[in-house]
A and B are shown apart, each in its own frame.
Chain A
Amino acid sequence: MRNIWTIARKEMNAYFRSPIAYIVMTVFAVIFGFFFYSILSLFMRQVFAQAQYAQMYGQMPPMNVNEMVIRPLLMNVSVVSLFLVPMITMRLFAEEKKTGTIELLMTSPVTDLQLIFGKFLAAFMLYAVLLGLTLPCILALFRYGNPDWRPLLAGYLGQLLIGSCFLSFGLLLSTFTRNQLVAGSLTFGFFLILWVLDWTSEYSSSQVGQIASYLSLTTHIENFSKGVIDLKDAVYYLSVIGLGLFLTARSVEYQRWRA
């Protein structure tokens, strides 16, 4: 446990010593701010339209902040993180290999799993910080509206899970190379394919389409964003995270034998 924390702390410090953490945070905050603004203003327009409708016909249809603001917002967050996670994970192993510091880690009394969990934990914490940046906007909704906090919690849990899936595969792809750019591009390309899988499922009802839809990471975030915690989705994400970390461990071990 102590080893995991030692490594996680080192990685966390490395993120904040280099500009990478600040760049990722800024980009994320700007994009999220834009989404927040545009989704909220769309919502406001709808509210005004509905209010006029209500004046004429005497009945106001229900306007749900959770459903109409938070849900699309969180869906967008998962797409943005798909683009930003490669920036977080690409250095984790590639940089150590490039600078030779992997020799220090590999000759220290640390198991491969401790090393991998430590690095994953640091990336997860940075990702959680990113999500934390969205809180001021969400809290503003509570100030001016009356959203339900329980589906919100489910939505954030879903984001943490899907983000962890991205992180675990980003970590895996970072073990393949000593070049950060290669690791980053591989990760990014891989995530894009996963994302595209989701589109194909929309206009294909065949079995292949259904399988693709089931495998696509983004399909499973929908329930979470609605506020529904389905065991099926949770199990799916946890299995994907587990698979990513397992393959990372295999990759690290394989490279030790091959090197």
Chain B
Amino acid sequence: MIEVHGLTKRYGRTVAVDDLHFSVRKGEILGFLGPNGAGKTTTMRVLTGFLPPTLGKVTVAGYDVMQDPLEVKRRTGYLPETPPLYTDMRVDEMLAFAGRIKGVPRRDLKERIEQAAEKAAISDVRSKIVGHLSKGYRQRVGMAAALIHNPEVLVLDEPTAGLDPKQIIETRRLIKSLAGDHTIILSTHILPEAAHTCGRVMIINAGKLVAEDTPANLTARLQGYETMKLLVEGPEAAARERLSRVIGVSQVSAIPADDGRVEFSVQMAKGRDSRKELARSIVESGWGLLELRPVGLSLEDIFLKLTTTDEAEESAGSPETEGNE
């Protein structure tokens, strides 16, 4: 449904998207994950024909975004991060305008507005002025506007940003229910979001593809190790040396804290409980072990792990994962 080959987008000298390749099958939900500024929005804007790519070939529903932009736009519904709504219109008027501009035939317009409003659960506010609605409702009006022409492809840029937990669940349910009929790309920087809704996740950072898999596989692949946090009172270098000699430990990083204390983050093979060995190694050296706790690897850690590995490996010893607050 969507084919992206060697997509590159530069803004002046800044490279926003760097040689990206991917494809999305019909009816699939693809999650686009990455920190802010990773190039998610830029990629989505290229897919929807809002921005021309600097290099590369992008086809949506068989049409090239550069050669047949109108055909692509006819088949694409786009919900940008801030829903593009005319705040002085009523919800009904807004949807009617969106429908007309997307080329919904006049005789179908009323029915389409009704369906879209129902799907996005905004039937109760249809006569209200868009500008008077809450953020959550506006988001949903934006969703209804993106759905109005029943597009084959839906591109949703952070569809749940700024919603309350109940609305988030509803939106996820809506997105899931739309899969099958529609091919969906959604972006988010919240991992559980992707894990909940997407069949496949692509993690991008600094414009490059970092990983691509199902959420479950991604988690399994990356959870091959466990992390322990230790707060030690003692010399940093010696303690690091001692800790890295414990069996199963693959990596040790340290963050010096106040009063001669050091916080170590120790990575070790999964399934091997080495807490006793770790504790013994510190205590037997005569240093103070103030704290020892296992840190479960959350999706956030995976995400950070994937998106920050380069820097962390280059400057070994610097704190690597700080995902767990």
The chain A residues found within 8 Å of chain B, CB to CB, are 2-3, 6-7, 10, 13-14, 17-18, 99-111, 256-257, 259
**B71-106 interface (Cβ within 8 A of A):** 71, 73-74, 76, 78, 80, 82, 84-89, 93, 97-98, 100-103
Given contacts A101-B85, A106-B49, A259-B11, list 9 more A-B pairs with CB under 8 A: A10-B86, A13-B93, A14-B86, A100-B82, A104-B145, A107-B73, A109-B74, A110-B101, A256-B50
Residue B48 is within 8 A (CB to CB) of chain A in the complex: yes
Contacts of A14 in B (CB 8 A): 86, 88
In angstroms, how far is the closest chain A Cβ from the Cβ of B39?
15
Residue B248 is within 8 A (CB to CB) of chain A in the complex: no
Residue B52 is within 8 A (CB to CB) of chain A in the complex: yes
Indicate if the CB atoms of A109 and B86 lie closer than 8 Å.
no
Indicate if the CB atoms of B51 and A259 lie closer than 8 Å.
yes
The chain B residues found within 8 Å of chain A, CB to CB, are 11, 48-52, 70-71, 73-74, 76, 78, 80, 82, 84-89, 93, 97-98, 100-103, 145
Indicate if the CB atoms of B51 and A101 lie closer than 8 Å.
no
Known: A104-B145, A106-B50, A257-B52. A10 touches B70 (CB 8 A): no
Indicate if the CB atoms of A6 and B101 lie closer than 8 Å.
yes
Can you identify 23 A-B contacts, CB atoms within 8 angstroms? Answer: A2-B100, A3-B103, A14-B86, A17-B89, A18-B88, A99-B85, A99-B87, A100-B84, A103-B78, A104-B84, A104-B85, A104-B98, A104-B101, A104-B145, A105-B101, A106-B50, A107-B50, A107-B78, A109-B71, A109-B74, A256-B51, A257-B52, A259-B11
Indicate if the CB atoms of A109 and B50 lie closer than 8 Å.
no
Indicate if the CB atoms of B101 and A101 lie closer than 8 Å.
no
Contacts of A100 in B (CB 8 A): 80, 82, 84
Contacts of A259 in B (CB 8 A): 11, 51
Contacts of B50 in A (CB 8 A): 103, 106-107, 256
* Cα separation A3 to B102 with both chains bound (whole Å): 9
Indicate if the CB atoms of B86 and A103 lie closer than 8 Å.
no
Question: Which has the most chain B C-beta neighbours within 10 Å: A6, A7, A13, A103?
Answer: A103
Q: B48: nearest residue on chain A (CB-CB)?
A: A107
